[in-house]
Structure 1
Amino acid sequence: MHTEVLIAGAGPTGLTLACDLARRGVRFRLLEQAPGLFPGSRGKGLQPRTQEVLDDLGVIGAVHASGSPYPLMRSWQGGEPGPEWDLMERRPAEDGVPYPEVWMLPQWRTQEILHARLLELGGSVEFGTGVLAVRQDAHGVEVDTTVGTATADYLVAADGGRSTVRRAAGIPMAGETVDEKAALVADVRIEGLARSHWHVWQHAPGGAALLCPMPGGTEADFQLFAQYEEGEPDTSAEAVRQIVAERTHLSGEAVTEVRWASGFRPRAALADRFRAGRVFLAGDAAHVHSPAGGQGLNTSVQDAYNLGWKFGRVLRHGAPEALLDSYELERLPVAADVLEMSTSLHRAGAVGVSAKRGPHTEQLGVGYRGGPLAEERRDGLAEDDLQAGDRAPDARCTTPDGTGRLFDVLRGTHLTLVVAGTALPDPAGLPAEVRTARVAEGYGEGYLLVRPDGYIGLATADAADLGPYLAALGAA
C-alpha cells in the first residue's frame, strides 16, 4: 500500500500530525509499534499555545472537560503539612489569550482524545506495527515493518527519543545528562490523600518524592515522582509501594494500584537536522527535554502542527516542494531555545521541583520572525509591535458574516487575511479559500496574512503584495 505520508509513532506528535493531515485530505498511514496507546501520564501539562492548537483541531472541549488547573504545591515534613505555594504564575483570560492557564491532563488521556478525533476524521492507527528499516530515493521512501513493507512519498519519525527512523536516516543527535540522579515516575491509585494539593516531600530519605492528583481518571489517581540520591529505580509495584511508605506518611497499603511506572535520568538532546531527504523528524525523535517547565509534549505537538499544513499545501494545493524546507528552518531553532530554557529551569529548581513557570514556559511567544516564510513589509515598527512571524493573537473581529472572535475565523485548514486600519481588498482578487476579518485593536495597521497554523506570514501596507505570497503557498 502506497501512501503520501507515513508516520512512525502514535504518541501526541504522530496523532496530532495524523489529525491535521486527515482534515486536509492528505493520504497517510500511522504506524505504532506498541499494541495500544501509551498508558502513562509522563507529559501532563498543556501550555496555553498547545491549547490553541487543540482548539483548532476540534478537541479543546474534551481537553477541558477531562483536565483541571494545576493545584497549589504543599510541603510535608513526614506526616506534618507545611506551607503551600504556587508553581504557576496565573493570569486571567484576556482578549488575545483565551487560554492563559497551563492545563493539567495526563498524557494517556490527551492521546485518547486525539485518537478519538482521528477516528472521527476517518483515520486510524496501525498498532503492533514497528519500523525495521528505511530506504529512500528521489521518488519516495520504502519502509520495512514488522508486518510487511510500506511505501510513501514522505516519512515522519514521531517514534520517540530512541527513534529507529532517525537512526535509519543517519541523523545524529547530540545531548547531555541534565541531572545525574535517576528518577521514577508512576501512575498510582492512593487512598487517604487530599486532591487539593500537589504534595511534596522535598527532604525525604533517599530523595525527594512528589504526589500530584491526576485528572481524567478516578478520584484516587495520582502521579508519583521520586528522585534517587543513589542507585537506579525499581519499577515493580512492590518497589513503588515501598517508596511511598519510606518517603511519605502514607503506608504502602494506601497504594491500591500501580497502573504504570518508568525510570529515567533527565536528559537534553537535539538532532543535528530535522530532515534528511524525504524523512522528517518531529517530537522526541528530534529533541529530548528535561521534564522541567513542561515543554517536551508541547514542543512536539507544535512540530506536528507546523509540518501538517505544509504537507497539505504541497500535496493538495500544488505549492512547491521547497515549502517543506521551512519546517527545519523554523522548528530547529525553536527546539534549541526551548531545550536551553528547560535545562536551565531544571538546574535552577530545588530538589525534585523545577523553578516557577510563567510567560517563558507558555510558548505564546514562540514565533518565526526572520524565518523563510515571514515577510514584514511595513516600516517604522517597534520591536514589541506585532510582526510577520509572530503568533496571531485572538481579537474581536468583523467578518462578512458578522462580528465574533478571530480564533473562530482562524479555525480550520484555510488561510486568513486580517485587515487592520485600512480598506478591505477587492474580494474578487483573493482565492476562495482565504477568509477575511477586520480587527480594530492589537494588529497595528495593514494587511496581515495568517498561515493555517496561526502565525503571521505576510504583513504589508500594500494589498498588491498578497498575490505573490499566496501563489507561493499554492493559493493563487
Structure 2
Amino acid sequence: MPAQQFDTPPVLIAGAGPAGLIAALVLLRNGVPVRLIEKNDFLHPGSRGCGIQPRTMELLHQLGATDLVRALYPLGSNRSYRFGTLDIVRDEPFVELKTSTVHLPYPNPLMIGQCGFEGYIRSHLAKYGCEPELGTELTTFEQDENGVTAHLSKNDGNKETVHVQYLIGTDGARGATRKGLGLSFTGNTPDTFRMLVGDVRMTCDKLDYNHWHRFGDFKSKTVMLRPMREVGVDNDGWALMIGGPEIDIDKLLDPEGSKEVIFAVIQEAVPAEIQFKELVWKGQWKPNMRMVDKFGVGRVFVAGDAAHVHSPTGGQGLNSSVQDAINLSWKLALVLKNLSPPSLLDSYSAERLPVIAEMLNITTELFKKTASGADDAWKREDRLRMLGVNYRRSPIVLEERSTGLDSESMAAYGDAVEGTTPVAGDRAPDAARLVDAEGKEYTFFDLFRVTHHSVLIFASDVNSAKSILDSLQKHSEDAIRPIVVLPQGASGGSGGALALVDRDGHAYSGYKATEGETVVVILRPDGFVGAVVNDVEGVGRYLQKVFF
C-alpha cells in the first residue's frame, strides 16, 4: 500500500496529562500529526504522581527524552516521627539501592513532580509545533467504519465538531471517552478513608531535603512532607499529605480560610519554626481502585486514568499511563501509515489488561498495609521497578528459541532477574561497547527507538546474516532496521546494514546468544522483545503478525 499522507491530524487525543502527552509524542516521532486537547484552561502546578520507575526511564530514553531522565533526582528515605515531636521512630529507605550495569543502566526509582514531567514532554511536542489546546473538552462522540466524529466544548462557550480517524481518551476516570464507549469500570471505592493532598512552599531548619518526613500515622492523624523541587524555589517546595480519623478533612478543604487551617495542622505536627510561603494547590484524595474491561472499541481507545485508577502507593500510576500510551501509539502509527492492518490494535487490550490487573492488586494491597499502619507498609519490592513487566501472553509475540515455556502462568508483573534468558514479550536489555567498522561506539538503548523495529541478528559474520538481511529489504527502513551483532574479535562489516562488534561480549551475554550460531531477536518500538527466532522463516512468521 502507498504511504499515507495526512492533510489534517488523523488522531484526536483528549487529555493532556502524562498519557496524552506521551501518546502525542510517540505519534509525532512516527510522522503522525495529532490534535491534543485539555479541558482545563490552565496547566496544573502540582507534583501529584512523582515516582519514576526504572522501566519508564528506559522507555523515555528510547523516546528521545533523555533530558527528562537526566533531570530526575533521588527518591530519598522515609523518616517517621511521633506526631508533634522530632523524635525519630524509624529511618529507612523505600527501596534497596542497586548499582547500574551494562544491561540495566537505570536500576533505581527516581523522582520528579508531575508538573515537571509534563513540562519536559511539552517541550518536545513544541518542536513539532504541537501544544495542548487548553479549555477544550471532549463531550460526546460517534464512530463508524470510516472514523470518529467528536464534539468539543470550549470554555469560551464555543462548540466544535471534528472528524478524525482515531480518538485516544486520556481524559481521566470522569472523562467522556470511557463513558461514551460504555466500558465497565470494575473495582471499589471505599468511603472510609480520605486525605488532603497538595503542595506547599515553606522552610524549616529541622527538616532536611533528603527525606520524606512523616509525622504520626493513619490510625490517628498524620502529616507527610515530601521534598518536591518542581513546586518551589531553593528547596522550599514540599508535597503534602494530611489524613487520619482525628483530622477534619472537610475543614481543611473549606475554601474559606483553609490555607491557615492547613498551615496550623502542619505546625502542630512539626514542633519547630516554620516559615510558610504559599499553598500551591490542594485537593482531596479518596481510594478508588478500578479498571476497564477492555482498552478500546473500534476506533476509540482509553489510556492512563481513563482506563484505570488506583492507590498511589508503590508509585505505579504515572508509569503505567506512560506504558499504556507507548504500547498503543506505536501500533496506531503503523496502522495509520498503511504498514499494518487495523487488527494489530486488538493487541493493545490483550497486552495491557493483564498488566494493569496485576498492578491494581499489588497497589491495593500496599494501600491496605499503609492505611492499617503495618510495619512493612513503606517497603517497596523489586517488581515495582517494572523491569519484569512483560507481554509473554501476547498474540503478536513469537518465541522459537526457548521451547516448553508456560507463558500463561507467567506473572505479567514478573520479577526481573538479570542474567536470565530474555524471551519474546520480555523487556529488551541494554548493552554497551558495541563498535562499528569505523570504531564508533554504540549502546543498544541509543539505537532502539519508538519509530521502528530493531532486528538484532547475532551471527559470526555479515555473510551468515545475508539471507535475513535480504528478506528485510522489502520493508522500509523507517519501520524495520537490522543490526548485525558480531562476536568479540570479529571484523566489522562494511556497507549495507549496520554491523557492530560486541567488543566486551555484553550483547551476547545479555541476549544469551552463542558465538558461531545465528539467532535473531526482534525488538519492538516499545522496547520489548517481539520475537526470538533462528532463521529467515522465523523472521517472516513474526513480521506477518505485525505488518501487511
Equivalent residue for 2:533?
Answer: 460
Pick the aligned partner of 2:304 from 283, 286, 289. Answer: 283
Instruction: Please say if residues 399 and 437 of structure 1, whose CA atoms lie closer than 8 Å, have aligned partners that are also in contact.
Output: no
1: CA distance between counterparts of 2:219 and 2:349?
45
Which structure: larger Rg? 2
| Residues 204-254 of structure 1 deviation map (CA, whole Å, 9 limit, x = unaligned) | 895121111112342100111111316534233223212212322246x63
Summarize the alignment of residues 136-285 of structure 1 with structure 2, pairs less than 5 Å apart.
Answer: 136-146=143-153, 147-177=159-189, 180-192=192-204, 193-203=207-217, 206-216=220-230, 217-218=232-233, 219-229=235-245, 231-233=248-250, 234-235=252-253, 236-250=258-272, 254-285=275-306
Which residue identity is paired with 2:223?
Answer: A
Instruction: Please say if residues 217 and 244 of structure 2, whose CA atoms lie closer than 8 Å, have aligned partners that are also in contact.
Output: no
2:450 corresponds to 1:429: no
Instruction: Please say if residues 37 and 112 of structure 1, whose CA atoms lie closer than 8 Å, have aligned partners that are also in contact.
Output: no
| Residues 15-47 of structure 1 deviation map (CA, whole Å, 9 limit, x = unaligned) | 000011111111211110011322211101000
Equivalent residue for 1:102?
Answer: 109
Instruction: Please say if residues 351 and 393 of structure 2, whose CA atoms lie closer than 8 Å, have aligned partners that are also in contact.
Output: no
2:49 corresponds to 1:37: no
Pick the aligned partner of 1:69 from 62, 74, 85. Answer: 74
1:388–1:166 Cα change, 3 Å: same
Instruction: Please say if residues 63 and 113 of structure 1, whose CA atoms lie closer than 8 Å, have aligned partners that are also in contact.
Output: no
Equivalent residue for 2:496?
Answer: none
Q: CA deviation at 1:351?
A: 3.4
1: CA distance between counterparts of 2:192 and 2:118?
30
Q: Structure 2 stretches of 5 or more lacking a match? A: 1-6, 154-158, 407-419, 486-506, 514-518
Which residue identity is paired with 2:118?
Answer: Q
Which residue identity is paired with 1:359?
Answer: D
Q: CA deviation at 1:324?
A: 0.5
Larger deviation: 436-445 or 103-112? 436-445
Q: CA deviation at 1:12?
A: 0.3
Pick the aligned partner of 2:522 from 445, 449, 459. Answer: 449
Equivalent residue for 2:361?
Answer: 340
Which residue identity is paired with 2:261?
Answer: A
**Aligned to 1:425, what secondary structure does the other structure show?**
helix
Equivalent residue for 1:316?
Answer: 337
Equivalent residue for 1:368?
Answer: 391
CA RMSD of aligned residues (A): 2.2
**Aligned to 2:510, what secondary structure does the other structure show?**
coil
| Residues 256-308 of structure 1 deviation map (CA, whole Å, 9 limit, x = unaligned) | 10001111112210112111121101001000010110011100000001011
2:447 corresponds to 1:409: yes
Larger deviation: 105-114 or 209-218? 209-218
Summarize the alignment of residues 1-16 of structure 1 with structure 2, pairs less than 5 Å apart.
Answer: 3-16=9-22
1:263–1:415 Cα change, 3 Å: same
1: CA distance between counterparts of 2:218 and 2:368?
19
1: CA distance between counterparts of 2:430 and 2:74?
21
Q: Structure 1 stretches of 5 or more lacking a match? A: none
Instruction: Please say if residues 19 and 117 of structure 1, whose CA atoms lie closer than 8 Å, have aligned partners that are also in contact.
Output: yes
Q: CA deviation at 1:419?
A: 2.9
**Aligned to 2:166, what secondary structure does the other structure show?**
strand
Which residue identity is paired with 1:176?
Answer: N
Instruction: Please say if residues 421 and 444 of structure 1, whose CA atoms lie closer than 8 Å, have aligned partners that are also in contact.
Output: no
Q: CA deviation at 1:366?
A: 0.4
2: CA distance between counterparts of 1:30 and 1:103?
28
Equivalent residue for 1:303?
Answer: 324
**Aligned to 1:166, what secondary structure does the other structure show?**
helix
| Residues 77-96 of structure 1 deviation map (CA, whole Å, 9 limit, x = unaligned) | 32324141111121110121
Which residue identity is paired with 2:129?
Answer: G
1: CA distance between counterparts of 2:343 and 2:124?
30
Q: CA deviation at 1:387?
A: 0.4
Pick the aligned partner of 2:428 from 368, 377, 392. Answer: 392
Q: CA deviation at 1:3?
A: 3.0
2: CA distance between counterparts of 1:48 and 1:136?
38
What TM-score do you get using the length of structure 1 for normalisation?
A: 0.93
2: CA distance between counterparts of 1:57 and 1:40?
24
Identity among equivalent pairs (%): 36
1: CA distance between counterparts of 2:365 and 2:537?
45
2: CA distance between counterparts of 1:337 and 1:442?
27
What TM-score do you get using the length of structure 2 for normalisation?
A: 0.82
Larger deviation: 192-201 or 240-249? 240-249
Q: CA deviation at 1:367?
A: 0.7
Which residue identity is paired with 1:435?
Answer: P
